[in-house]
Amino acid sequence: MHRAFFRSSKTLVTVASNRIFFFSPAPTSSNPSLPLYFQNQTQQAFHSSNKDSGNTPFGSPTRVQKLIASQSDPLLAKEIFDLASRQPNFRHTYSTYLILLLKLGRSKYFSLVDDLLRRLKSDSHPITPTLFSYLIKVYGEADLPDKALKTFYTILHFNCKPLPKHLNRILEILVAHRNYVRPAFDLFKDAHKYGVEPDTKSYNMLMRAFCLNGDISIAYSLFNKMFKRDVLPDIESYRILMQALCRKSQVNGAVDLLEDMLNKGFVPDSLTYTTLLNSLCRKKKLREAYKLLCRMKVKGCNPDIVHYNTVILGFCRQGRAHDACKVIADMRANGCLPNLVSYRTLVSGLCDMGMLDEANKYVEEMLSNGFSPHFAVIHALVKGFCNVGRVEDACGVLTKSLEHGEAPHMDTWMIIMPVICEVDDGVKVSDALEEVLKIEIKGHTRIVDAGIGLENYLIRKIRAKSRAS
């Protein structure tokens, strides 16, 4: 059987014929004036082939569908579609329309998409919801909220009933733009007129959009309407409102919503508790935060490391590191082991309160559990010991730090070196420093950087003594 080929740019397509012919390059948006034409003998070849075979030069509609599906160039696929359409008694399959619409849409040839939709409508094919799901997806990816909104009414124009998933996807695209929240709300309110009832997801999207816009009263109104319209809210519905209230520092209202959740049989998730704990700690309601932390397990949500660390940080920020130590004990009792953030926050809080021995104990525990001390932890402890004249203990902390491969910050060396020089018991302290320096000194220990500052300090001290004498 003879074959004929045509090509556009670099694409070669095979068709059933006895001639070889070529396309000119397809027109593009950058060069719209470039026409697409065929040589006269090409058209003759198609017509003669029709007479011989009783079919199009491409074969059956199914073959045309496969041919279009195989094209990487959407404009070439469209030309194949148009060429086949001009053949007598030829009718494209619905799948062909679907494939070509997706190709053109993904390549952002939206005027061609609109034209193809009109042709599909006139071709009287039975339409499936999949077509509109594809279109909405394409418009969403192209960030075209207007076209996504228009698609809802296009569905009606095709005498189809929009599905809740169509409504929700369009709402999702619209509310991503602040200036489209009101059009989204209008569509939401009108949807039932077209037989589409908004579901929980629909309400949640609108509630979140209004909350982010600062319109909490509208979000609350939507939340209350859910119960009136027999739409059951979910955990996310409550969390959206609780997060909005917490952002407005209305933590008492958020706690009331939590109680409402629990009374209605909902089990709040981890993120809901994290939101409340953060807000309570920021409002310095630490007792309520700790009580909520203790209630979590009873109410079906086991506290995790994030919840514990949130409360530990809250206590330490308010100078209540001793209460944070109780939280650490609770963690262990509940099978949740402290992490680096837990230890770092607690040690810094204990140092700020002058509880240096307790802080040192937690540093040792930290090391025994395989955590390498962060340089900020070491710095806080060394600074604390130096401030009360406990230079030997400060050197001991440095030793532990270097043994575990953690380089003290240059500021840490700058704190401890002048203190060593000023201490009366020079022999005892120098012995302690010598123990520190037995650890292999590398560039990352930063003691070399501290040497310049130490040199300047010693020069100033010698000059001060000479002036005094």
Give the torsion sign (CA, 102, 107, 112, 113).
positive
C-alpha 30/C-alpha 32 separation (Å) is 6
What pLDDT, in 10s, does the model give residues 307-327?
Answer: 999 999 999 999 999 999 999
Asked whether the beta carbons of 164 and 198 are under 8 A apart, the reply is yes
What is the model's pLDDT at position 157?
92
Task: Provide the pLDDT confidence category of residue 33 given band limits of 50, 70 and 90.
Answer: very low
pLDDT at 426: 47
User: In this predicted structure, what is the pLDDT of residue 13?
Assistant: 46
* Contact predicate 160/132, CB 8 Å: yes
- DSSP secondary structure string for all residues of 256-317: HHHHHHHHTT----HHHHHHHHHHHHHTT-HHHHHHHHHHHHHTT----HHHHHHHHHHHHH
Q: Is the separation of the CB atoms in 374 and 380 below 8 Å?
A: no
Q: Round to whole Å and give the CA distance between 148 and 244.
A: 28
Residue 59 DSSP SS3: strand
CB 308 within 8 A of CB 292: no
- Averaged pLDDT, 88-94: 91
Query: Residue 462: what pLDDT?
Result: 55
Please choose, from the candidates 48, 82, 57, the residue with its C-alpha nearest in 3D space to the C-alpha of residue 68. Answer: 82
Q: What is the DSSP letter of 149?
A: H
Tens digits of residue pLDDT in 154-201:
999 998 999 999 999 999 999 999 999 999 999 999 999 999 999 999
Say whether pLDDT at 250 is over 90: yes
Reported for 452-456, long-range contacts at CB under 8 A and 24+ positions apart, including other chains, are 453/414, 453/417, 454/413, 454/414, 454/417, 454/418
Residue type, 24: S
**pLDDT over 50 (residue 12):** no
Q: What is the pLDDT of residue 46?
A: 40
Sign of the C-alpha dihedral, residues 421, 423, 427, 433? negative
Q: Quick one: pLDDT at residue 434? A: 55
CA-to-CA distance for 251 and 259, rounded, in angstroms? 13
The greatest distance separating any two alpha carbons of the chain, rounded to the nearest whole angstrom, comes to 122
Average pLDDT over residues 89-116: 94
Q: Tell me the C-alpha distance between 394 and 121, whole Å.
A: 82
Closest CA to 354 of 323, 385, 329, 325: 385
Between the alpha carbon of residue 2 and those of residues 5, 17, 47, 71, 335, the distances in Å are 10, 6, 16, 22, 77
Per-residue pLDDT band for 422 (boundaries 50, 70, 90) equals low
Give the residue with greater pLDDT, 126 vs 50.
Answer: 126
Q: In this prediction, what percent of the chain has a pLDDT beyond 90?
A: 59
For residue 37, count other CB atoms closer than 10 A to its CB.
8
3-state secondary structure 172-231: HHHHCCHHHHHHHHHHHHHHHHHCCCCCHHHHHHHHHHHHHCCCHHHHHHHHHHHHHCCC
Give the Cβ contact number of residue 455 at 10 Å: 10
Residue 340 pLDDT greater than 60, yes or no: yes
Q: Distance between CA atoms of 184 and 192, rounded to whole angstroms?
A: 14
Span 196-222, mean pLDDT?
A: 95
Q: Are 122 and 97 in contact (CB under 8 A)?
A: no
SS3 of 146, please? helix
At 89, the pLDDT band (50, 70, 90 cuts) reads confident
